Protein backbone atom coordinates (compact mmCIF):
# COMPACT_ATOMS: atom_id res chain seq x y z
CA UNK A 1 0.00 0.00 0.00
CA UNK A 2 1.34 3.45 -0.85
CA UNK A 3 1.47 5.90 1.97
CA UNK A 4 0.85 9.59 1.52
CA UNK A 5 4.06 11.57 1.81
CA UNK A 6 2.76 13.46 4.82
CA UNK A 7 2.69 10.44 7.09
CA UNK A 8 5.72 10.63 9.34
CA UNK A 9 8.02 7.63 9.18
CA UNK A 10 7.73 7.65 12.99
CA UNK A 11 4.19 6.55 12.57
CA UNK A 12 5.07 3.58 10.42
CA UNK A 13 6.07 1.00 12.92
CA UNK A 14 8.03 -2.19 12.45
CA UNK A 15 6.34 -4.52 14.95
CA UNK A 16 9.53 -6.54 15.32
CA UNK A 17 11.14 -3.52 16.94
CA UNK A 18 9.12 -3.91 20.05
CA UNK A 19 10.28 -6.57 22.42
CA UNK A 20 7.13 -6.09 24.40
CA UNK A 21 5.16 -7.96 21.75
CA UNK A 22 4.86 -11.19 23.69
CA UNK A 23 3.69 -9.30 26.75
CA UNK A 24 1.24 -7.47 24.53
CA UNK A 25 -0.34 -10.72 23.40
CA UNK A 26 -0.49 -11.96 26.99
CA UNK A 27 -1.97 -8.70 28.17
CA UNK A 28 -4.50 -8.73 25.37
CA UNK A 29 -5.53 -12.25 26.36
CA UNK A 30 -5.92 -11.14 29.97
CA UNK A 31 -7.96 -8.15 28.85
CA UNK A 32 -5.68 -5.64 30.55
CA UNK A 33 -4.54 -3.57 27.59
CA UNK A 34 -4.98 0.16 27.53
CA UNK A 35 -7.97 -0.06 25.24
CA UNK A 36 -9.87 -1.87 27.95
CA UNK A 37 -9.08 0.85 30.47
CA UNK A 38 -11.38 3.42 29.00
CA UNK A 39 -8.75 5.53 27.25
CA UNK A 40 -10.38 8.47 25.52
CA UNK A 41 -12.01 7.53 22.24
CA UNK A 42 -10.77 9.58 19.31
CA UNK A 43 -12.33 10.85 16.15
CA UNK A 44 -10.79 9.29 13.04
CA UNK A 45 -7.19 10.55 13.08
CA UNK A 46 -5.81 12.39 10.10
CA UNK A 47 -2.56 10.42 10.02
CA UNK A 48 -1.48 6.88 10.88
CA UNK A 49 -0.92 6.39 14.59
CA UNK A 50 1.81 4.70 16.60
CA UNK A 51 1.87 1.18 17.98
CA UNK A 52 -0.07 0.47 21.16
CA UNK A 53 2.06 0.00 24.27
CA UNK A 54 1.36 -3.24 26.14
CA UNK A 55 0.42 -3.59 29.78
CA UNK A 56 -0.42 0.04 30.55
CA UNK A 57 -2.20 0.39 33.89
CA UNK A 58 -4.35 3.19 35.20
CA UNK A 59 -2.79 5.42 37.84
CA UNK A 60 -3.84 7.14 41.04
CA UNK A 61 -1.74 10.11 39.86
CA UNK A 62 -3.81 10.72 36.78
CA UNK A 63 -5.95 13.79 36.28
CA UNK A 64 -9.63 13.70 35.37
CA UNK A 65 -9.53 16.38 32.68
CA UNK A 66 -10.32 16.28 28.99
CA UNK A 67 -7.09 15.54 27.10
CA UNK A 68 -5.90 17.79 24.30
CA UNK A 69 -6.44 16.05 20.93
CA UNK A 70 -3.61 13.80 19.72
CA UNK A 71 -3.15 15.82 16.54
CA UNK A 72 -2.58 19.00 18.52
CA UNK A 73 -0.10 17.38 20.91
CA UNK A 74 2.08 16.08 18.06
CA UNK A 75 1.90 19.13 15.83
CA UNK A 76 2.39 22.08 18.23
CA UNK A 77 5.37 22.43 20.55
CA UNK A 78 9.04 23.06 21.07
CA UNK A 79 11.91 20.78 20.10
CA UNK A 80 14.62 23.19 18.98
CA UNK A 81 16.84 20.40 17.65
CA UNK A 82 14.29 20.31 14.81
CA UNK A 83 13.79 24.04 14.40
CA UNK A 84 12.66 27.18 16.20
CA UNK A 85 8.93 27.24 15.35
CA UNK A 86 5.96 25.59 17.06
CA UNK A 87 5.36 23.46 13.98
CA UNK A 88 9.05 22.56 13.43
CA UNK A 89 8.97 19.34 15.52
CA UNK A 90 5.83 18.11 13.75
CA UNK A 91 7.39 18.83 10.36
CA UNK A 92 10.99 17.75 10.91
CA UNK A 93 11.17 15.16 13.68
CA UNK A 94 10.57 12.35 11.17
CA UNK A 95 14.37 12.38 10.88
CA UNK A 96 14.77 11.06 14.42
CA UNK A 97 15.66 7.35 14.72
CA UNK A 98 14.34 6.15 18.10
CA UNK A 99 15.51 2.54 17.58
CA UNK A 100 17.99 1.23 18.50
CA UNK A 101 18.30 3.52 21.55
CA UNK A 102 20.02 3.39 24.88
CA UNK A 103 20.44 5.63 27.90
CA UNK A 104 23.67 5.83 29.87
CA UNK A 105 23.22 6.36 33.60
CA UNK A 106 26.36 7.46 35.41
CA UNK A 107 27.87 9.76 38.03
CA UNK A 108 27.11 9.31 41.72
CA UNK A 109 25.70 5.78 41.41
CA UNK A 110 26.97 2.41 42.62
CA UNK A 111 25.96 0.66 39.40
CA UNK A 112 26.53 2.89 36.36
CA UNK A 113 24.98 1.22 33.33
CA UNK A 114 23.54 1.58 29.87
CA UNK A 115 19.86 0.77 29.52
CA UNK A 116 18.40 -0.34 26.23
CA UNK A 117 14.93 1.05 25.54
CA UNK A 118 13.68 -2.46 24.75
CA UNK A 119 14.75 -3.65 28.21
CA UNK A 120 13.24 -0.64 29.93
CA UNK A 121 9.91 -1.47 28.31
CA UNK A 122 10.16 -5.00 29.74
CA UNK A 123 10.62 -3.99 33.38
CA UNK A 124 9.05 -0.56 33.63
CA UNK A 125 5.63 -0.48 35.34
CA UNK A 126 3.82 1.53 32.67
CA UNK A 127 0.95 3.72 33.76
CA UNK A 128 -1.35 6.12 32.01
CA UNK A 129 -0.75 9.55 33.59
CA UNK A 130 -2.93 12.34 32.27
CA UNK A 131 -1.06 15.49 33.28
CA UNK A 132 -1.61 19.19 32.91
CA UNK A 133 1.37 20.68 31.02
CA UNK A 134 2.30 24.38 31.00
CA UNK A 135 4.85 25.99 28.68
CA UNK A 136 6.68 29.06 29.97
CA UNK A 137 5.44 30.86 26.84
CA UNK A 138 1.86 30.82 28.16
CA UNK A 139 0.17 27.87 26.46
CA UNK A 140 -0.89 24.65 28.09
CA UNK A 141 -2.32 21.26 27.28
CA UNK A 142 -3.55 18.09 28.94
CA UNK A 143 -1.53 15.06 27.89
CA UNK A 144 -2.37 11.41 28.54
CA UNK A 145 1.25 10.25 28.90
CA UNK A 146 2.29 6.66 29.26
CA UNK A 147 5.25 6.43 31.57
CA UNK A 148 6.84 5.11 34.72
CA UNK A 149 8.17 6.82 37.84
CA UNK A 150 11.77 7.97 37.40
CA UNK A 151 12.44 6.52 40.87
CA UNK A 152 12.13 3.03 39.31
CA UNK A 153 15.22 3.74 37.25
CA UNK A 154 17.04 5.24 40.25
CA UNK A 155 16.58 2.01 42.20
CA UNK A 156 18.39 0.05 39.51
CA UNK A 157 21.56 2.15 39.59
CA UNK A 158 21.72 2.62 43.38
CA UNK A 159 22.25 6.35 43.71
CA UNK A 160 24.94 7.20 46.30
CA UNK A 161 24.55 9.56 49.25
CA UNK A 162 26.74 12.11 47.43
CA UNK A 163 24.14 12.76 44.74
CA UNK A 164 22.17 15.95 45.25
CA UNK A 165 21.01 16.66 41.69
CA UNK A 166 20.46 14.82 38.44
CA UNK A 167 21.14 15.93 34.86
CA UNK A 168 19.11 14.79 31.84
CA UNK A 169 20.89 15.04 28.49
CA UNK A 170 19.10 14.94 25.14
CA UNK A 171 20.58 13.53 21.94
CA UNK A 172 22.43 16.08 19.77
CA UNK A 173 23.10 14.30 16.46
CA UNK A 174 23.35 16.65 13.46
CA UNK A 175 22.52 13.77 11.11
CA UNK A 176 19.11 13.38 12.70
CA UNK A 177 18.62 16.83 14.19
CA UNK A 178 19.49 19.45 11.58
CA UNK A 179 19.22 22.48 13.87
CA UNK A 180 21.95 21.37 16.29
CA UNK A 181 24.33 22.72 13.63
CA UNK A 182 23.04 26.18 14.56
CA UNK A 183 23.78 27.85 17.90
CA UNK A 184 20.10 28.23 18.85
CA UNK A 185 20.90 26.73 22.23
CA UNK A 186 23.94 25.26 23.93
CA UNK A 187 23.72 21.65 22.66
CA UNK A 188 23.17 19.02 23.83
CA UNK A 189 19.97 20.14 25.56
CA UNK A 190 20.31 19.49 29.29
CA UNK A 191 17.86 19.86 32.15
CA UNK A 192 18.15 19.01 35.82
CA UNK A 193 16.26 18.29 39.01
CA UNK A 194 17.10 18.23 42.68
CA UNK A 195 17.20 14.66 43.93
CA UNK A 196 13.96 14.89 45.95
CA UNK A 197 12.17 16.34 42.91
CA UNK A 198 13.49 13.49 40.78
CA UNK A 199 12.25 10.94 43.33
CA UNK A 200 8.78 12.47 43.63
CA UNK A 201 6.11 10.02 42.39
CA UNK A 202 4.76 12.59 39.91
CA UNK A 203 8.11 12.70 38.08
CA UNK A 204 7.97 10.24 35.22
CA UNK A 205 9.83 9.08 32.17
CA UNK A 206 7.29 9.07 29.37
CA UNK A 207 7.52 6.40 26.67
CA UNK A 208 4.14 7.05 25.08
CA UNK A 209 0.97 9.07 24.86
CA UNK A 210 -2.64 8.13 24.17
CA UNK A 211 -1.61 4.52 24.92
CA UNK A 212 0.83 4.44 22.00
CA UNK A 213 4.61 4.69 21.60
CA UNK A 214 5.88 8.23 22.03
CA UNK A 215 5.67 10.23 18.78
CA UNK A 216 8.97 11.68 17.54
CA UNK A 217 7.97 15.35 17.95
CA UNK A 218 7.29 14.69 21.65
CA UNK A 219 10.71 13.21 22.37
CA UNK A 220 10.76 9.57 21.28
CA UNK A 221 11.66 7.10 22.58
CA UNK A 222 11.76 8.49 26.12
CA UNK A 223 11.62 11.89 27.79
CA UNK A 224 11.23 13.47 31.18
CA UNK A 225 7.85 14.79 32.39
CA UNK A 226 7.59 16.98 35.52
CA UNK A 227 4.04 18.32 35.56
CA UNK A 228 4.42 21.05 38.21
CA UNK A 229 7.27 22.75 36.31
CA UNK A 230 7.40 24.67 33.04
CA UNK A 231 7.50 22.41 29.99
CA UNK A 232 11.16 23.07 29.20
CA UNK A 233 12.24 21.01 32.24
CA UNK A 234 11.02 17.93 30.33
CA UNK A 235 14.08 17.05 28.25
CA UNK A 236 13.24 14.99 25.16
CA UNK A 237 14.94 12.01 23.51
CA UNK A 238 17.25 11.42 26.48
CA UNK A 239 20.54 9.56 26.00
CA UNK A 240 22.40 10.30 29.22
CA UNK A 241 21.52 10.75 32.89
CA UNK A 242 24.14 11.89 35.36
CA UNK A 243 23.79 12.06 39.15
CA UNK A 244 25.89 14.91 40.51
CA UNK A 245 26.79 16.81 43.70
CA UNK A 246 26.34 20.34 42.37
CA UNK A 247 23.32 22.11 40.90
CA UNK A 248 23.76 21.91 37.12
CA UNK A 249 23.74 24.99 34.94
CA UNK A 250 21.05 23.97 32.51
CA UNK A 251 20.66 24.86 28.84
CA UNK A 252 17.96 27.46 29.57
CA UNK A 253 19.90 28.98 32.48
CA UNK A 254 22.78 29.50 30.07
CA UNK A 255 20.42 30.94 27.43
CA UNK A 256 18.91 33.50 29.84
CA UNK A 257 19.98 33.42 33.50
CA UNK A 258 17.52 36.12 34.54
CA UNK A 259 14.63 34.54 32.61
CA UNK A 260 14.98 30.84 33.37
CA UNK A 261 15.86 29.64 36.82
CA UNK A 262 16.85 26.15 37.90
CA UNK A 263 13.57 25.44 39.70
CA UNK A 264 11.14 26.73 37.07
CA UNK A 265 8.11 25.79 39.13
CA UNK A 266 4.92 27.02 37.53
CA UNK A 267 4.19 30.20 39.49
CA UNK A 268 1.52 32.75 38.52
CA UNK A 269 3.04 35.24 41.00
CA UNK A 270 6.49 35.33 39.43
CA UNK A 271 6.39 36.90 35.95
CA UNK A 272 8.89 35.99 33.28
CA UNK A 273 11.16 38.97 32.68
CA UNK A 274 9.25 39.77 29.46
CA UNK A 275 5.68 38.67 30.21
CA UNK A 276 3.19 37.78 32.94
CA UNK A 277 2.68 34.17 33.99
CA UNK A 278 -0.70 34.80 35.62
CA UNK A 279 -2.78 33.26 32.81
CA UNK A 280 -2.43 30.65 30.12
CA UNK A 281 -4.15 29.54 26.94
CA UNK A 282 -5.14 25.89 26.89
CA UNK A 283 -4.58 24.82 23.30
CA UNK A 284 -7.94 24.63 21.56
CA UNK A 285 -9.64 27.07 23.95
CA UNK A 286 -10.43 30.71 23.28
CA UNK A 287 -10.54 32.28 26.73
CA UNK A 288 -7.46 32.29 28.91
CA UNK A 289 -7.41 30.41 32.20
CA UNK A 290 -5.78 31.43 35.45
CA UNK A 291 -2.47 29.67 35.93
CA UNK A 292 -2.39 27.66 39.13
CA UNK A 293 0.56 27.55 41.56
CA UNK A 294 2.68 24.49 40.78
CA UNK A 295 0.39 24.01 37.77
CA UNK A 296 -2.34 22.70 40.08
CA UNK A 297 -0.08 20.18 41.83
CA UNK A 298 0.60 22.27 44.95
CA UNK A 299 -0.99 19.76 47.29
CA UNK A 300 1.43 17.09 46.08
CA UNK A 301 4.66 19.10 45.76
CA UNK A 302 4.58 22.37 47.72
CA UNK A 303 6.28 20.76 50.74
CA UNK A 304 9.39 20.14 48.61
CA UNK A 305 9.98 23.90 48.75
CA UNK A 306 8.99 24.64 52.33
CA UNK A 307 11.02 27.57 53.65
CA UNK A 308 12.35 28.57 50.22
CA UNK A 309 11.76 32.04 48.78
CA UNK A 310 10.19 31.08 45.45
CA UNK A 311 10.77 34.56 44.05
CA UNK A 312 14.48 34.12 44.53
CA UNK A 313 14.52 30.44 43.57
CA UNK A 314 12.34 30.86 40.46
N1 LIG B 1 15.61 18.22 23.84
C2 LIG B 1 14.64 19.14 23.98
N3 LIG B 1 13.70 18.95 24.92
C4 LIG B 1 12.70 19.86 25.08
C5 LIG B 1 12.66 21.04 24.29
C6 LIG B 1 13.68 21.20 23.30
O7 LIG B 1 13.73 22.19 22.56
N8 LIG B 1 14.64 20.23 23.18
N9 LIG B 1 11.68 21.98 24.49
C10 LIG B 1 11.02 21.99 25.81
C11 LIG B 1 9.86 22.86 25.87
S12 LIG B 1 10.15 24.53 25.91
C13 LIG B 1 8.58 22.39 25.98
S14 LIG B 1 7.25 23.43 26.24
C15 LIG B 1 8.30 20.93 25.82
C16 LIG B 1 7.28 20.76 24.73
O17 LIG B 1 7.13 19.44 24.33
P18 LIG B 1 5.82 18.60 24.59
O19 LIG B 1 4.68 19.39 24.03
O20 LIG B 1 6.00 17.31 23.91
O21 LIG B 1 5.70 18.43 26.08
O22 LIG B 1 9.47 20.17 25.53
C23 LIG B 1 10.63 20.57 26.25
N24 LIG B 1 11.74 19.64 26.02
MO1 LIG C 1 8.19 25.53 26.67
Structure pTM? Answer: 0.86
Atom of ligand 1 nearest to the CA of 79: 7
218 is in an annotated binding site: yes
> Looking at the CA of 236, which ligand is closest?
1
Nearest CA residue ID for atom 24, ligand 1 = 235
Domain boundaries, the chain: 9-305
119 pLDDT exceeds 60? yes
Q: 135 C-alpha vs ligand 2 centroid, how far in Å?
A: 4
- Report the alpha-carbon distance of residue 196 to residue 165 in Å, rounded: 8
> Could you tell me if 78 and 135 are in contact, meaning their C-beta atoms sit under 8 angstroms apart?
yes
223 is in an annotated binding site: yes
Least confident of 46-55, 172-181, 195-204, 232-241: 46-55
Nearest CA residue ID for atom 12, ligand 1 = 232
9-305: CATH architecture: Alpha-Beta Complex (3.90)
240 lines ligand 1 (CB under 6 A): no
231 lines ligand 1 (CB under 6 A): yes
Q: 237 C-alpha vs ligand 1 centroid, how far in Å?
A: 10
What one-character-per-residue DSSP string does 18-38 give? -TTHHHHHHHHHHT-SGGGGT
Give the pLDDT of residue 47: 54
- Report the alpha-carbon distance of residue 157 to residue 105 in Å, rounded: 8
Longest dimension (CA), the chain: 61
- Residue-wise pLDDT for 152-199, tens only, equals 999 999 999 999 999 999 999 999 999 999 999 999 999 999 999 999
Helices in 12-141 by DSSP H: which ranges? 21-30, 70-75, 88-92, 117-123
- Residue-wise pLDDT for 121-132, tens only, equals 999 999 999 999
Q: 260 C-alpha vs ligand 2 centroid, how far in Å?
A: 11
Q: 6 C-alpha vs ligand 1 centroid, how far in Å?
A: 23
Amino acid sequence: MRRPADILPSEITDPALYAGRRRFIQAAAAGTIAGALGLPALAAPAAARGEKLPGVRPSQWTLDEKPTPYETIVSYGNFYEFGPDKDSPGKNAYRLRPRPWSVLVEGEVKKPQRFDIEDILKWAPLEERTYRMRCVEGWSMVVPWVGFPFSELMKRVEVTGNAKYVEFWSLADPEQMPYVRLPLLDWPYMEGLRLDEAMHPLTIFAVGLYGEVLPKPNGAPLRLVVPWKYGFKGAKSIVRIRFVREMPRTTWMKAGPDEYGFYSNVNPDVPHRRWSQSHERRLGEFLKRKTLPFNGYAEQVAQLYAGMDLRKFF
